[in-house]
């Protein structure tokens, strides 16, 4: 969905004032200059071409500005930088790229040309939480009694719409409702940033500029197609939009006009919101009639190093190892199931299948996917998690996690770059260390393990 053509560096010089003096004559002159520079225009985007997920392709070339060069030199997004001038210069240069990518001149002039620098977006992009959240703290908020009650009310209020989406795409209405609740608290908070402003700011000064530029082009295409006016295209600081927080590229690939008004509206049309969300899940591999998983009880001899999404086998194989449903009922039939223990050996365990992995396509976080799954279950009348969470375990700060990673690396357990983020490499390294000292290798970081790792160092 994004242009693979690399812009000619001379474009910004050939068209230095695309936005300040727009006219048919200046536009024609600009296109002539682009042609002389050897810049081939991308073919116009066709809405009916969006039938498969967008292919992987090279991101648009990024255009450095004096402001960005100064920020890189100082290591600060603000020190000594004239962002007003830098953003305007970047916007002029990127306008030429947008034209090459097939964005209509009017959209470039009236939408991209009116984009505003948003310093708050940069602050949020660079902010890092001091403490990581424990799984139970995350789920206490995500699956709160209030959110469950609101979800049940929304399910009743929009039952016909949700059931229509469920019947069309094979995704349960409770799951669609749960994602709606997780993403925007059922539409009460889907963000107040103009998407074009947010993505333009990130494309100019963000940490992932090439990604932001590609998403910005997708946002401009949405306006080109007439699905939504730019001033109504609202969302988060990171560019996620509407009730269920689609990125623009995801919107282009999966949004659905379910109410038949000729527009795909995930801001104001609940039929479009629910159908689009279900369509995304269906196209991501959702299997109709298959549960996401179930809470389980693990045998005393269970090797917790195998409690990992990458370890997959049939329900029958897990059953043969002594894994049982927490309530004594038979395990669901899943062809490719994993055990996940978000809080390590002391917390609840879950047997999860392919549909759980589909939820991860929405947000690649086990806590998020579990939040959606458990919220959906309780919206539908099911019960909460049975096993107790180890609430006595204190969360580690990002600095403490970084110290843990550094200590693991020093001891020869490859935890990767110390960044304060508990990823797969760090978890595998921690499991290796736990095995070396004869404790349960569940890969869950604790203050006790950190103190043991850093003792006498």
How do residues 73-96 score in pLDDT, each as one tens digit? Answer: 334 444 456 788 899 999 999 999
Average pLDDT, the chain: 85
pLDDT-based confidence at residue 206 (cuts at 50, 70, 90)? confident
Check residue 130 and give its pLDDT. Answer: 77
168: which residues sit within 8 A by CB, 6+ positions away? Answer: 275, 278
In the predicted structure, residue 63 carries a pLDDT above the cut 60: no
pLDDT tens for 390-416 read 999 999 999 999 999 999 999 999 999
pLDDT-based confidence at residue 131 (cuts at 50, 70, 90)? confident
pLDDT tens for 289-310 read 999 999 999 999 999 999 999 9
Check residue 54 and give its pLDDT. Answer: 37
Check residue 329 and give its pLDDT. Answer: 83
Q: How far apart are CA 366 and CA 342, in angstroms?
A: 7
Q: How far apart are CA 197 and CA 203, in angstroms?
A: 10
Mean pLDDT across 415-421: 94
Whether the CA torsion 158, 159, 160, 165 is positive or negative: it is: positive
Question: 406: phi > 0 → left, psi -120 to 50 → alpha, else beta; which?
Answer: alpha
Check residue 57 and give its pLDDT. Answer: 36
236 in Cβ contact with 198 (< 8 Å): yes
Check residue 127 and give its pLDDT. Answer: 87
pTM: 0.82
336 in Cβ contact with 354 (< 8 Å): yes
In the predicted structure, residue 432 carries a pLDDT above the cut 90: yes
Residue 247 Cα distances to 152, 216, 241, angstroms = 27, 10, 6
Residues β-bridged to residue 241? 235, 246
Eight-state DSSP code of residue 41 = P
Percent of the chain with pLDDT over 70: 82
Mean pLDDT across 310-319: 96
396 in Cβ contact with 403 (< 8 Å): no
pLDDT-based confidence at residue 328 (cuts at 50, 70, 90)? confident
What tokens were used for 380?
């539908």
In the predicted structure, residue 99 carries a pLDDT above the cut 90: yes
Whether the CA torsion 30, 35, 40, 45 is positive or negative: it is: positive
Burial 315-327 (b: 16+ CB within 10 A, else e): beebeeeebbebe
Q: How far apart are CA 220 and CA 253, in angstroms?
A: 14
Check residue 21 and give its pLDDT. Answer: 36
pLDDT tens for 233-244 read 999 999 999 999
Check residue 20 and give its pLDDT. Answer: 34
Mean pLDDT across 27-31: 36
**Higher confidence at residue 42 or residue 183?**
183
Check residue 104 and give its pLDDT. Answer: 97
């Amino acid at each position: 969905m994004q242009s693979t053509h690399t812009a000619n560096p001379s474009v910004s010089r050939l068209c230095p004032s695309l936005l300040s003096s727009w006219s048919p004559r200046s536009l024609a002159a600009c296109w002539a200059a682009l042609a002389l520079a050897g810049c081939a225009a991308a073919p116009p985007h066709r809405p009916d071409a969006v039938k498969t997920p967008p292919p992987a392709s090279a991101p648009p070339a990024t255009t450095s500005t004096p402001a960005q060069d100064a920020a890189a030199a100082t290591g600060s997004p603000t020190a000594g930088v004239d962002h007003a001038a830098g953003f305007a210069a970047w916007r002029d240069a990127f306008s030429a790229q947008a034209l090459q990518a097939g964005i209509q001149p009017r959209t470039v002039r009236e939408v991209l040309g009116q984009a505003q620098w948003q310093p708050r977006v940069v602050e949020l992009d660079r902010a890092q939480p001091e403490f990581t959240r424990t799984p139970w703290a995350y789920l206490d908020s995500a699956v709160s009694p209030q959110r469950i009650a609101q979800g049940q009310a929304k399910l009743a209020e929009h039952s016909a719409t949700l059931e229509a989406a469920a019947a069309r795409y094979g995704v349960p209405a409770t799951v669609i409702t749960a994602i709606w609740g997780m993403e925007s608290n059922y539409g009460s908070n889907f963000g107040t940033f103009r998407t074009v402003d947010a993505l333009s700011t990130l494309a100019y000064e963000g940490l992932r500029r090439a990604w932001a530029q590609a998403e910005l082009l997708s946002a401009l295409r949405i306006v080109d197609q007439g699905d939504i006016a730019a001033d109504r295209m609202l969302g988060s600081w990171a560019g996620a939009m509407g009730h269920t927080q689609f990125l623009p590229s995801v919107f282009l690939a999966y949004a659905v006009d379910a109410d038949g008004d000729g527009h795909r509206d995930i801001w104001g049309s609940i039929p479009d919101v629910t159908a689009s969300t279900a369509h995304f899940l269906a196209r991501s591999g959702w299997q109709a009639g298959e549960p996401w998983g179930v809470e389980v009880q693990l045998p005393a001899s269970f090797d917790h190093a195998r409690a990992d999404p990458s370890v997959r086998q049939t329900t029958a194989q897990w059953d043969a190892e002594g894994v049982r449903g927490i309530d004594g009922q038979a395990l669901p039939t899943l062809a490719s199931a994993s055990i996940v223990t978000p809080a390590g050996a002391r917390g609840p365990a879950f047997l999860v299948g392919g549909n759980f992995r589909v939820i991860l396509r929405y947000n690649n976080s086990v806590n998020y996917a579990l939040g959606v799954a458990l919220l959906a279950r309780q919206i539908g009348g099911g019960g909460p998690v049975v096993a107790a969470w180890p609430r006595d375990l204190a969360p580690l700060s990002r600095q403490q996690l970084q110290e843990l990673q550094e200590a693991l690396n020093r001891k020869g357990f490859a935890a990767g770059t110390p960044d304060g983020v508990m990823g797969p490499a760090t978890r595998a390294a921690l499991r290796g260390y736990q095995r070396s000292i004869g404790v349960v290798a569940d890969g869950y970081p604790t203050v006790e393990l950190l103190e043991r790792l850093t003792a006498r160092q």
